[in-house]
Amino acid sequence: MSDSKRSYFNDSPIEAADDDRYGVTGFAESIAKSITRMHKPVGATIALNGPWGSGKSSVVCPVSSEPGQA
């Protein structure tokens, strides 16, 4: 296959709300708000389940990069 016909899928998570093409930012903000409202979060666990490519990392990045900003 020639280089001109090759393409790839960028599976990198979004890093900014401006990059969100699939609408995960609102969900990420809701999770962040829930975390900041926990009175005693010691030992708390939050799981995101979904198939490969469903946006789990794109939810986690904004939540973990700006704690308390939700």
10 pLDDT more than 80: no
Residue 67 contacts residue 32 (beta carbons within 8 Å): yes
Q: Give the domain ranges of the chain.
A: 23-70
Beta-strand runs (E) in 1-70: none
CB 40 within 8 A of CB 6: no
33: number of CA atoms within 13 Å, CB side? 7
pLDDT of 20-49, one tens digit each? Answer: 888 888 888 888 888 888 888 788 888 999
Which among 2-6, 53-57, 64-68 has the top mean pLDDT? 53-57
| Entry pTM | 0.65
| Alpha carbons 36 and 51: distance in angstroms, whole number | 27
